[in-house]
Structure 1
Amino acid sequence: MNAVTPNTGLNERLNKLRAAVLGANDGIVSTAAVVVGVAGATSDARAIAASGLASLVGGAVSMALGEYVSVSSQRDMERAYIAKERQLHQDDPNGEFDHLVRGYMRDGLSRPTALRVAREMTATNPLRAHLKMHYGIDQDDIVSPWTAAAASFLSFFVGALVPLAAVLSPPAQWRVPLTFVVTLAALALTGHVSARIGGASPGRAVLRLVLGGAIGLAVTFGAGWVFGATVG
């Protein structure tokens, strides 16, 4: 029996892509909210830059750690399923074969067809057939928490650079408007990409992200402006 080791199969590629899209989206939104809020309170470029950099670094680390923990839990669960099915097959291979046949029958196959499919599927690797039937996983395509964490960290970092660069580049009077425009455009792009990955409607995903981002930025700017006016 082949050892269970992570590889770069379809599941692993999708895992990294998902982490990257979510990381970029969170980097854009969280950093934009911070710098716009601070820009509402003060025009001091150093204060805005410091808050943006803190949000970028802290958010990227936090995102990577969260992704690592989440994917590690998923990987541990998948490995537990693999160990369970391997033990069941060793203890009662005939019973497991019958279980597989019943699973195919529940999917709509007749018993003769289910028997034929089960024999063919278990001819070379019975464990793989059981894992796909019962859990929808592949023993040779276990997700890696390290690659997910790295993808999340890098994408958050890059995404956070977008609003940070936008708020620091122009003169003070253009900082907030330009950050709004750049941030919403970046959110529209990530919304389109995530929708295409998931097979959903890009229009609705983009609209949700852009509206949510606009509301979030408006609220944080307003809070910063009120705080700045009160302190000032």
Structure 2
Amino acid sequence: MAANSQLPKLSLQNTDHEAQITPLEMDQTNEKKDLDYSKRSQWLRAAVLGANDGLMSTASLMVGVGAVRQDIKAMILSGFAGLVAGACSMAIGEFVSVCSQLDIEIAQIKRDKRSGKDQKEGEQGLPKPFQAAAASALAFSVGAMVPLLGASFIREYRLRLGMVVATVSLALVVFGWLSALLGGSPAFRSVLRVLLGGWLAMAITFGLTKLIRSTRL
């Protein structure tokens, strides 16, 4: 009887212990699984936009020049000029945009302080213009390097154009997949959207440049 009287107590203790630990473990597991992808939206948008813009604008510029000039030097110089000009443009644009956002948030914090609200958390999360500008320029440069590297070592004209299109297409697939992975969106739709948009941009640039050359405008 003494042994039997101890069993329910052990069972109750184990049950209480499980009841205390299990919800905590479940909360930790759910917290790891339930990622808030919206928190990534701002830096993800800037990174993907910068890299994709660098890739497409430089590749389209090189393909457009390649439509009227077959020598490798003209194509490489146009691509390099596009890289430098685009990176500077992206950095300045991002800097001005984030500075405007910073001014708005600081003004709002000052208004909240006058009304007695605590804004310590808001002050810690203020946007950083120089950081955003540097990240945008770096992302653009990384994307722009892809078509430049693809065309740098190929002398034959048609093969060079084909290599630019191939390397750019591969990079577009990678960028589309990464953006879907980090943003939690369907990978196929993201890749297809980016890939079709890139092909369309290169085709339009090549076709219009050819048309201008043929009409001798």
Range into which the TM-score falls when normalised by the shorter chain: 0.7 to 0.9
- Say which is worse superposed, 189-198 or 57-66, in terms of deviation: 189-198
Greater relative contact order (CA < 8 Å, ≥ 6 in sequence): 1
Could you tell me how far apart the structure 1 residues matched to 2:39 and 2:86 are?
A: 24
Q: Which residue matches 1:86?
A: 113
Identity rate of aligned residues, in percent? 42
Structure having the higher Rg: 2
Q: Map 1:44-193 to 2 at 5 A.
A: 44-89=71-116, 126-127=118-119, 138-170=122-154, 171-193=156-178
Q: Does the 8 A contact of 2:40 with 2:183 survive in 1?
A: no
Contact preservation (8 Å) 1:21, 1:194? yes
Post-superposition offset of 1:197: 2.8
1:165 and 1:227, CA in 2 relative to 1: closer, same or farther beyond 3 A? farther
Structure 1 unaligned segments of length 5 or more: list them. Answer: 1-10, 90-95, 97-125, 129-136
Divergent runs of 4+, >4 A? 11-17
TM-score, structure 1 as length reference: 0.70
| C-alpha deviation, 1:154, in angstroms | 1.2
Q: How many residues align?
A: 179
SS of the equivalent of 1:138 reads helix
1:39 is aligned to 2:31: no
CA–CA distance in 1 between the matches of 2:126 and 2:52?
25
| Structure 2 segments unaligned to the other structure (5+ residues) | 1-37
Cα distance, 1:17 vs structure 2:
4.7
* Amino acid corresponding to residue 103 of structure 2 in structure 1: D
Tell me which moved more, 166-175 or 36-45.
166-175
Alignment of 1:200-211 (within 5 A): 200-211=185-196
- Letter of the 1:209 counterpart: V
**Alignment partners' CA distance in 2, 1:75 and 1:200:** 29
The 1-side partners of 2:192 and 2:65 are apart by 26
Residues in 2 aligned to 1:212 and 1:41: alpha-carbon distance in whole angstroms: 23
**Alpha-carbon contact 1:35-1:167 (below 8 Å) kept:** no
Measured on the aligned residues, the alpha-carbon RMSD in Å equals: 2.4
